[in-house]
């Protein structure tokens, strides 16, 4: 157990240990606490492990080809080298990227927006397209677009909602979202925005994996989104 000072509010937090799957947050302001460099590096390596393995395989194949070429008997004369100019494999899309601004993307209700709602996303190249739907009817109420590593605050109508979100690196518009690589998720719990006495209840949704977090999500299909 050691003390870690929050870089945002300065509060001292007792941290028992670090984990690749979860991040430690400040008990006072709920912002992610500073982490050791080795842990950040390990988390990045774990996130991109498939690309790292692919790079090792491709690099090993190139070294083998180079070794085979150098072990062949040499002959006098001129050899023409042909370079492979084929682009790396990736899913092909037939539609252009669409510029988009962070904030409320669409509003599907005329109800008064009075309840505070805040969305916080993890750092990285991926952006988040968030849907707020009525928990009882399934009707779409609002949608939001938030870039990675950003926070967005707004107000929503009173009601009980479900939160769904899609993630990806390049936005192709509402019809294609983030293209064939789009990932879809939904929060397990519902969110009730209501008036309690003289106060209006609101929520902060942090889409960041963290130790002791109380927001559980599940993967869903594009049809469920």
The domain that holds 109 is classified in CATH as 2.60.40
Q: pTM for the full model?
A: 0.59
The yes-or-no verdict on residue 144 having pLDDT over 90 is yes
Q: Does residue 80 lie within any of the structural domains?
A: no
- Average pLDDT of the chain is 83
Q: Does residue 211 lie within any of the structural domains?
A: yes
Residue 33, judged by CB atoms within 10 A of its CB (0-12, 13-18, 19+), counts as buried
User: Are residue 22 and residue 126 in the same domain, yes or no?
Assistant: no
**Per mean pLDDT, which range of 2-6, 74-78, 101-105, 213-217 is the poorest?**
74-78
How sure is the predictor about 125, in pLDDT bands with cuts at 50, 70 and 90? very high
User: Are residue 13 and residue 113 in the same domain, yes or no?
Assistant: no
Say which residue, 133 or 56, is predicted with more confidence.
133
User: Are residue 116 and residue 211 in the same domain, yes or no?
Assistant: yes
The yes-or-no verdict on residue 74 having pLDDT over 50 is no
User: Are residue 108 and residue 197 in the same domain, yes or no?
Assistant: yes
Mean pLDDT score, 168-174 = 95
Which 3 state secondary structure label does DSSP give 183?
Answer: strand
**Per mean pLDDT, which range of 25-29, 55-59, 92-96, 111-115 is the poorest?**
55-59
Q: Does residue 22 lie within any of the structural domains?
A: yes
Domain coverage including residue 27: 2-35
Q: What secondary structure letter does DSSP report for 164?
A: E
Q: Does residue 66 lie within any of the structural domains?
A: no
User: Are residue 115 and residue 213 in the same domain, yes or no?
Assistant: yes
Residue 70, judged by CB atoms within 10 A of its CB (0-12, 13-18, 19+), counts as exposed
The yes-or-no verdict on residue 57 having pLDDT over 80 is no
Number of structural domains, the chain? Answer: 2
pLDDT confidence of residue 156? 96
Q: Does residue 145 lie within any of the structural domains?
A: yes
Q: Does residue 48 lie within any of the structural domains?
A: no
Q: Does residue 64 lie within any of the structural domains?
A: no
Q: Does residue 46 lie within any of the structural domains?
A: no
């Amino acid at each position: 157990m050691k003390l870690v000072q929050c870089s945002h509010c300065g509060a001292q937090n007792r941290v028992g240990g670090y984990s690749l799957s979860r991040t430690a947050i400040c008990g006072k302001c709920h912002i992610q606490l500073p982490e050791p460099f080795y842990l950040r590096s390990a988390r990045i390596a774990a996130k991109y492990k498939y690309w790292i393995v692919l790079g090792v395989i491709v690099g090993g194949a190139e070294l083998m080809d180079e070794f085979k070429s150098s072990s062949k008997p040499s002959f006098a004369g001129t050899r023409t080298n042909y370079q492979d100019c084929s682009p790396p494999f990736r899913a092909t899309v037939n539609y252009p990227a669409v510029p988009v601004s962070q904030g409320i993307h669409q509003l599907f209700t005329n109800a008064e927006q009075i309840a505070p709602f805040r969305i916080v996303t993890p750092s990285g190249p991926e952006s988040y397209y968030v849907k707020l739907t009525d928990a009882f009817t399934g009707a779409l109420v609002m949608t939001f677009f938030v870039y990675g590593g950003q926070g967005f605050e707004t107000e929503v109508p009173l009601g009980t909602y479900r939160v769904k979100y899609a993630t990806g690196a390049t936005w192709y518009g509402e019809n294609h979202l983030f293209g064939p690589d789009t990932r879809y998720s939904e929060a397990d719990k519902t969110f009730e925005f209501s008036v309690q006495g003289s106060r209006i209840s609101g929520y902060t949704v942090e889409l960041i994996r963290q130790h002791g977090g109380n927001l559980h999500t599940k993967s869903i299909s594009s049809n469920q989104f």
